[in-house]
Structure 1
Amino acid sequence: MTSGDGILPDDIEALKALVLAREAALQERDGDLEQLRDTVSTLQKNLSDRTLEIEHLKLWIAKLQRMQFGRKSEKIDRQIEQLELRLEDLQTDDGTAAVESPRSRRAEGSKSTGRKPLPDHLPRQDIVHQPVEEACPQCGGALADLGEDVAEQLEYVPGHWRVIRHRRPKKACTCCDCIVQAAAPSRPIDRGMPGPGLLAHILVAKFCDHLPLYRQSIIYARDGVELSRSTLADWVGQCSALVRPLVETIRQYVMSAKKIHTDDTPVPVLEPGNGKTKTGRIWTYVRDDRPSGSNEAPAAWFAYSPNRSGEHPQAHLLGFKGTLQADAFAGYDAIYESGAVREAGC
């Protein structure tokens, strides 16, 4: 293959042909590997879709079972909660895989997602993106309006703080030095700093969203507003006293009905000192005659007790006359003895 002057031209051509053949084989192998990756990605996506479908069906079955056997089935409710969490995890993993696999994401983008339009009541902010070209890039002619493409994006603007300053100017008479001034506006908490909107937000976060006060304190501190847990607890206590007349009005309205539905729910309650919990009870009394064609507003009154002793519902229903729909708890038996309350089994 060689001579005294080096490699011969024929040998160079043979080497070139060998290199080209090698590159073609590598490209063919890379193409096979890429096709294999696409196949694996497609199979994984199909498996994920099938798993999501199975979890959806399980969730629907559990909800149908609750509809059939009653909404108070705690076992089914816990099963539904677990399925909801499992479904969220699977959907989260599916979203992560879509970001990590741009090719499968593009393939899915061609399909209709069935996404609902954004609510009409939300305010709109228009941001106009003008083209950078001020004249035609091909001929230099003037550009005229042809239309526009509009794409909506849902955004969230975090709630903001503000300080309301109540200014009360003083005025004095130039003749007799009499001073006049507007009366100070009333506040939810006497001489207190919080406004009604802030107090409502704290109460909803604590009792509806189950956000403890110490966590709220940390969240507010990130915005530069220092509100200690003890301060928030004091506000909650004063609000409790403030809304007590409203709670009593609701109780009287519920107890004035001719038919009441009641049940009790166990709740874990912290025992001060030892860090353990005990079981308390939330008693619920509901007035709702809409299924019977009534136009009266429905209402519910809640009462707490540290245990399930029968003296608690007996005290709650003292003075009630009508039909009581409840379970077979023995604590209700004394209520039916006078005959003023009729029993309706649930």
Structure 2
Amino acid sequence: MSTDVPASIDPSTLPDDPALLKRMLIEQGQHLIERDAIINRIREEAAQRERLEAEKKAAVEAILRRFYGPKNERFDVRQLLLFGQQVEQQPLDEASINAEAGERLVTRRIAKKHKHGLHPLPDHLPRIDVEHDLSEDEKKCPCCGEARCRIGQEVSEQLEYLPASFKVLRHMRHKYACRKCDAEGYNPNIAAAKKPAQPIDKGLPGPGLLAYVIVSKLGDHLPLYRLEHIFARQQLHVARSTMCAWLAATGELVRPLVELMIQRVRLSRVIHTDDTRVPIQAPGEGKCRSGRIWTYIGDGAHPYIVYDYTPDCTRAGPANWLRDYKGYLQADAYGGYDGIYHSGAIEVACWAHARRKFFEAKDTDGKRAAQMLSFVRALYAVEDDAKQLSNDERRDLRQVRSVSILADIKAWLDGEREIVLPRSPMGEAFTYTLNQWEALNTYTREGFLNIDNNAAERALKRVAIGRKNWLFAGNDRAGGTAALLYSLIASAERHQLDPQRYLTSVLARLPALPPSDVNKFLPDAWKRADVDVTSS
């Protein structure tokens, strides 16, 4: 045994009494234990601070990725090996991405495959023949000098663009009078032909121009000042304030048609809904306040997409719109819908929202995130197999396959929730999913229900894209006008209609239409009538 004494201790100061020496050693040992405990506590607090900083950083990155990042949610789980976490390699979840985007995911390799090459030009485009012939000297045979005869032709097609042009329609109302009565000094009984009702009474724009402005602003997301510059290139000055007035007048004109669409949507067995922010100009405040645009999507029997504007995001907006609704309502976890569910509507939650919570938590807990994403991928695999089935067959398939997957998910969530920190991103994902669990299972009970609310999110993309271009609405009335016109554009596109052609027809005929015939201009009814006319 070593008898070395620490240099800091003078052996001559140690007592000779063994009991006293033993007590000193015990006190020294206790001091060392307390010191080690303090050091461990400091280390734990430092580690806790590091975890909190990592969670804050992950939360900020998730927010930035949500608003500015790419939509294809992918990450390389092999990076987790750097931290000693073994995890099974997860393939890219193309099904979830395709469902959320509403279109097939196209990678760079696929895009390059179809990028180049000639494609046939559409048959519906008009053809203009441009003939190229030999000169008289070139027609002579270089051998004998006789004129050569035509034996055929080579035809190639070139796509050309002819700029749109303005035209002035001169409405000439012919007037008639009785010459005999006039000659005899009586009232000549003058009569003039009536001018058809116009979208804007005594206004400058025709239906086609109004439709162009509406689709350009709300369909193609062109701010009115850009339209002003486009018109100026053709030596036509139309102030943006004038076009604002046109939009407002048109919104009032189509209001009965949109209200009819709203009535039909409220009859749906299931309605998808969501909302997004719309900046509203607030003079005198130095900044914009936030209004809200809400979308409500009808089912297959009531195939319309309608929008509603509210000056704030309180629950009064959806509560008023969905008053007395008793069907299925698929939405996010916004608390403003709770009163609607208590009034009889059946809540259907969104698995895309639940999945996104776990994806956003992958930076702090990649192993659990990968596990949950694999569960959700299995649920969407069932939906892929059920796409072509009838409602009853789809419900039966979900009961056989999806219900068992959901049971595995619930067991895994219950087992892991005791380990996960409640306030961490992963803990928040667990809390969100478990709080919504009953509503997340509702879709398996009916074949006509969807696994997610991506349809409503896609319907609001047009508002989000437009918001980046026109930046704000001038006032609450402008927000309401946008909601009315969005409803017509989105519903027309749902039926694969050209919104400008559809709106031109609506605006040309709606002013003189009796209220009982407004239903003829619902997008699906108009499409059937248009097909009948063109086919005949």
**TM-score normalized by the length of structure 1:** 0.65
**Corresponding position: 1:319 with 2:347:** no
Residue 227 of structure 2 aligns with which residue?
216
Give per-residue Cα distances to partners, 1:17-55, cap 9 Å, x unaligned.
xxxxxxxxxxxxxxxxxxxxxxxxxxxxxxxxxxxxxxx
Whole-angstrom CA distance in 2 between matches of 1:238 and 1:315: 25
Partner residue of 2:191 out of 173, 180, 185: 180
Matches within 5 A, 1:227-246: 227-246=238-257
**Is the aligned partner of 1:130 residue 2:140?**
no
- Whether contact under 8 Å (2:270, 2:298) holds in the other structure is yes
Structure 1 stretch 226-235 or stretch 265-274: which is displaced more? 265-274
Alignment pair present for 1:171 and 2:176: yes
Report the more deviating stretch, 210-219 or 302-311: 302-311
One-letter amino acid of the structure 2 residue matched with residue 139 of structure 1: C
Render the CA deviation track for 1:95-136: whole Å, top value 9, x for unaligned. xxxxxxxxxxxxxxxxx9542100111000011111121312
SS in 2 for 1:130: coil
Q: Which residue of 2 aligns with 1:343?
A: 347
Q: Cα offset for 1:258? A: 2.2
Q: CA deviation at 1:259?
A: 1.7
Match of 1:67 among 74, 95, 104: 95
- Give the number of the structure whose residues are more often helix, by fraction: 2
Match of 1:143 in 2: 148
Please state how far the C-alpha of 1:305 moved relative to its aligned partner: 2.4
How well do the aligned residues superpose, as a CA RMSD in angstroms?
3.1
Q: What is the CA–CA distance in structure 1 between the aligned matches of 2:245 and 2:94, rounded to whole Å?
A: 40
Match of 2:120 in 1: 117
> AA paired with 2:336?
G
Take 2:119 and 2:71, find their aligned partners in 1: how far apart are those partners? 22
Give the match for residue 101 of structure 1: none
Q: What is aligned with 1:302?
A: 307
| Residue deviations 1:234-261 (CA, integer Å, cap 9, x gap) | 1111111111111211111101222211
The aligned amino acid for 1:252 is Q
In the TM superposition, what is the alpha-carbon distance from 1:267 to its structure 2 partner? 3.9
Q: Does 1:288 align with 2:299?
A: yes
Percent of aligned positions that are identical: 44
Number of residue pairs matched by the alignment = 252
Supply the distance in 2 between the matched residues of 1:154 and 1:201 (Cα, whole angstroms): 23
Task: Supply the AA of the counterpart residue of 1:255.
Answer: R
CA–CA separation in structure 2 for the residues paired with 1:272 and 1:309: 22
How far apart, in 1, do the equivalents of 2:195 and 2:253 lie?
Answer: 19
Partners of 1:138 and 1:277 in 2: CA distance = 82
Name whichever structure is richer in strand by fraction. 1
Q: Name the CA shift for 1:70/1:310 in 2 (closer, same or farther; >3 Å).
A: farther
Q: Distance in 1 between matches of 2:317 and 2:72?
A: 38
Change in Cα spacing, 1:69 to 1:278, as seen in structure 2 (3 Å) is: farther
In the alignment, the residues of structure 2 paired with residue 65 and residue 272 of structure 1 have an alpha-carbon distance, to the nearest angstrom, of: 46
Offset at residue 330 of structure 1 (A)? 1.1
For 2:349 and 2:205, the matched residues in 1 are separated by: 47
Deviation at 1:139, TM superposition (A): 2.8
Q: Deviations over 1:62-92 (max 9, x none)?
A: 7x7463257448xx99xx89x99xx99xx9x
**Secondary structure at the counterpart of residue 258 of structure 2:** helix
Equivalence for 1:329: 334
Q: In structure 2, do the counterparts of structure 1 residues 275 and 124 end up closer, same or farther at CA, with 3 Å as the change threshold?
A: farther
Structure 2 residue identity aligned to 1:259: V
- The aligned runs of 1:251-266 (5 Å cut-off) are 251-266=262-277
**What is the match of residue 193 of structure 1?**
204
Match of 2:363 in 1: none
Structure 2: distance between partners of 1:343 and 1:182: 58
CA deviation string 1:195-224 (max 9, x = no partner): 111101111001011111111111111111
SS at match of 1:197: helix
Once structures 1 and 2 are overlaid, which stretch shifts more, 273-282 or 198-207? 273-282
- What is the one-letter code of the residue matched to 1:150? V
State the Cα deviation string for residues 168-214 of structure 1 (Å, max 9, x = none).
Answer: 12111122222222112211101111111110111100101111111
In structure 2, relative to structure 1, the CA distance for the partners of 1:122 and 1:70 (3 Å cut) is closer
Counterpart of 1:119 in structure 2: which amino acid?
P
> Displacement, 1:274?
5.5
- Return the letter of the residue paired with 2:269: K
Deviations 1:232-291 (A, max 9, x none): 1111111111111112111111012222111223344444445644443321111123xx
For residues 284-327 of structure 1, give each alpha carbon's deviation from its aligned partner in whole angstroms, at most 9, with x where no partner exists. 111123xxxxxx24111111223322221111111222121222
Aligned residue for 2:248, secondary structure, equals helix
Distance in structure 1 (CA, Å) of the matches to 2:93 and 2:280: 30
Structure 1 segment 54-93 matched on structure 2, within 5 A: 65=93, 67-68=95-96, 71-72=99-100
1:140 and 1:126 mapped to 2: Cα distance? 30
One-letter code aligned to 2:346: R
Query: Which residues of structure 2 form unaligned runs of 5+?
Result: 1-69, 75-91, 182-187, 351-536
- Taking structure 1 as reference, are residues 180 and 281 closer, same or farther at Cα in structure 2, changes over 3 Å only? closer
Pair 268,261 (structure 1): closer, same or farther in 2 beyond 3 Å: same
Q: What's the TM-score once normalised by structure 2's chain length? A: 0.43
